[in-house]
Structure 1
Amino acid sequence: MAIWDFVKDAGKSLFGSEAEAQEAPSQPAQSDTDRKVAALKAELASLGLTARDVHLTLRGDTVVISGKARDQETLEKLILAVGNIKGIARVELAEGAGTETPAPQAAKPVFHTVQKGETLSAIAQKYLGKANRYNEIFEANRPMLSHPDKIYPGQTLRIPQN
């Protein structure tokens, strides 16, 4: 089982407040956990990261991913997409979860948590050896990133390994 930690108070606000959840009388009664899982699934769908055989379970501030993603890149993007949601502190891969196409033995995800004042260029310099390779990091994090300048402290990014 693999585990990744995220900054719980950073990220896209998907869940709204508890008060907002209580004020939604037009929707059928559902637990707070079910509401949050539905919001996570909707976010993944909006990013085009849906996978038929991948399932999410929410345990407090931890999302457990089970099933098989199409490939290593998709799996890493799924981890980041749910982990970079405000209120999520950890993402775990359930036992047996992974990819349909086996990843090479050395293929372990490399993630970086953005610090205040960092840019994609600085991150590219650190991991890829050249600041002008920032676009590789940007592309590796699409569709979660919409512009290379729109990163924020606490956000976790995928670092390409090629």
Structure 2
Amino acid sequence: MGIFDFIKDVGEKLGIGGDDDKPDADALKKEVEKHGLEADDLKVEVDGDKVKVAGNAPSNSIREKIILTMGNVLGVSKVEEDIKVANAEPDASFYTVEKGDTLWNIAEEQYGKGKGAKYNVIFEANRPMLTHPDKIYPGQVLRIPPLEG
């Protein structure tokens, strides 16, 4: 179980309109489904700008993508999760995109100098939420998986 922080004023807009635009549990579940992220018994509760999510995921990467899908929504500042994982794998770290960042320079910062070409590892780790390596924005939170080998 973990609690993850996000920037409340940045992200996908899922609300139904108006100044007090906040996503509800059904909208967040639909966002997870839209990205093809499968989890059994997915339960979502929204309390103001905090989201609680629980269920069972087939892998840690799916678990992390569910957290990011919900956290990268306008109006969400925290995601508290209790998602059980069927197949254990190493945790990824999370990185908040800053103004001027590219996946190349994030890869260099996270994996080491001369490893900018590993940007595709980060891109693939964040699909389907990312549709193109150049389409990241400040405040967005990305998964940074460990490099293999």
TM over 0.5: yes
Which residue of the partner structure matches residue 112 of structure 1?
95
SS of residue matched to 1:100: strand
1:152 matches 2:140: no
Alignment RMSD: 1.9
The 3 A distance-change label for structure 1 pair 40 and 122 is: same
Q: Distance in 1 between matches of 2:20 and 2:98?
A: 31
Specify which of 15, 18, 36 is matched with residue 24 of structure 2: 36
Greater shift in the superposed pair: 150-159 or 57-66: 57-66
The residue type equivalent to 2:26 in the other structure is A
Which residue of the partner structure matches residue 93 of structure 1?
81
Q: Distance in 2 between matches of 1:72 and 1:136?
A: 16
SS of residue matched to 2:24: helix
Q: CA deviation at 1:19?
A: 6.7
The structure whose residues are more often strand, as a share, is 2
Query: Structure 1 unaligned runs (5+)?
Result: 22-31
SS of residue matched to 1:123: helix
- Superposition misfits of 4+ residues, deviation over 3 angstroms: 18-21
| Contact in 1 for aligned 2:91/2:145 (Cα 8 Å) | no
- What are the residue-to-residue correspondences of 1:21-32 with 2, within 5 Å? none
Could you give the per-residue CA deviations for residues 86-135 of structure 1, whole angstroms, max 9, x where no partner exists? 000011113xx32122x25xx33300000001100000001122111111
TM-score normalised over the length of structure 1 = 0.82
| Contact in 2 for aligned 1:10/1:86 (Cα 8 Å) | yes
Q: Distance in 2 between matches of 1:158 and 1:8?
A: 18
Q: Distance in 1 between matches of 2:101 and 2:30?
A: 30
The 3 A distance-change label for structure 1 pair 20 and 159 is: closer
Q: CA deviation at 1:5?
A: 0.2
Question: How many residues are matched?
Answer: 145
Percent of aligned pairs with the same amino acid: 46
The 3 A distance-change label for structure 1 pair 20 and 62 is: closer
Query: Structure 2 unaligned runs (5+)?
Result: none
Specify which of 60, 83, 93 is matched with residue 72 of structure 1: 60
SS of residue matched to 1:41: helix
The 3 A distance-change label for structure 1 pair 116 and 52 is: same
Q: Distance in 2 between matches of 1:20 and 1:124?
A: 36
